Amino acid sequence: MKIVTHNKNKYLEYKEKFYEYGIKLDWVNIEYMEIQSDDPMKIVYESVEYVKKIVEEPFFLEDAGLNIKSLNGFPGPYSSYVHNKIKNSGILKLMQNIEDRSAEFYAIIGYFDGNETHLFKGSVKGKIIEEEKGVNGFGYDPIFKPNNSDKTFGEMDIKEKNSFSHRSMAFNEFIEYLKKFGEKNKI
Ligand code: IMP
């Protein structure tokens, strides 16, 4: 299977998941154009449209983001831009004195089988904690603690993060599809 991403952490997280199924993951490390939209499904669909002109199918890519409830879902589809600009410390500042710290990570996989694009979604609910904890992972990992865990994603290794993460939930949908319809000879 081929993943198209510029994010090494994403590749490593998926690599671990595919490994469990005996599937080798090939990393196409390129940056591709992403449209701006409030609808993450549309962003993924259009990204696939763009990438299929330059990468040989089958491949998948993924778009993820963080929705903070008390900020009306911000930063959502702008998660990458916001993280680059204000970092985790900026989010914590925005959240000062806010009691409801509920948040949700989502990930949407776009898989192009050579014919059609298939979308798979995963999400995980949790809380934005008061201060950064842990040095693992990337992005908002050190400030997000999934429900039913006493650790942030930043304090987990890949295997543990995968047992909770939005990414592995999307993967689970994807692998069920592949088992039924795709890449049959490789599973
Ligand atoms: P994108 O899917 O690369 O556009 O990701 C958007 C942004 O969301 C990233 O730059 C990260 O800041 C954040 N993000 C996405 N997934 C994760 C994750 O698993 N942990 C922490 N931050 C994430």
Q: Does some domain include residue 186?
A: no
Residue 56 identity: E
pLDDT at 184: 46
Q: What is the domain extent for residue 42?
A: 2-181
State residue 102 phi and psi, 5-degree precision.
Answer: -65, 140
Q: Does some domain include residue 125?
A: yes
Q: Does some domain include residue 10?
A: yes
Residues of the chain with pLDDT under 50: 184-185, 187
Domain count, the chain: 1
Assess whether the C-beta atom of 108 lies below 6 angstroms from ligand 1. Answer: no
The alpha carbon dihedral of 154, 155, 160, 165 has a sign of negative
- Closest residue by Cα to atom 5, ligand 1, is 64
Q: List, for residues 111-120, the tens digit of each pLDDT value.
A: 999 999 999 9
Q: How far is CA 168 from the centre of its chain?
A: 8
Q: Does some domain include residue 187?
A: no
Structure tokens at 98: 């806010």
Ligand 1 mean position to 18 CA, how many Å? 20
Asked if residue 58 has a cis previous peptide bond (ω within 30° of 0), the answer is yes
Read off the CATH number of the domain in which 134 is found.
3.90.950.10
Assess whether the C-beta atom of 138 lies below 6 angstroms from ligand 1. Answer: yes
pLDDT at 13: 98
pLDDT at 183: 60
pLDDT at 187: 45
Mutate to test the pocket of ligand 1, among 66, 157, 163 (most ligand atoms within 8 A of CB): 66
- How does DSSP classify residue 147? T
pLDDT at 182: 72
Torsion of CA 67, 75, 25, 55, to 10 degrees: 130
Q: Does some domain include residue 103?
A: yes
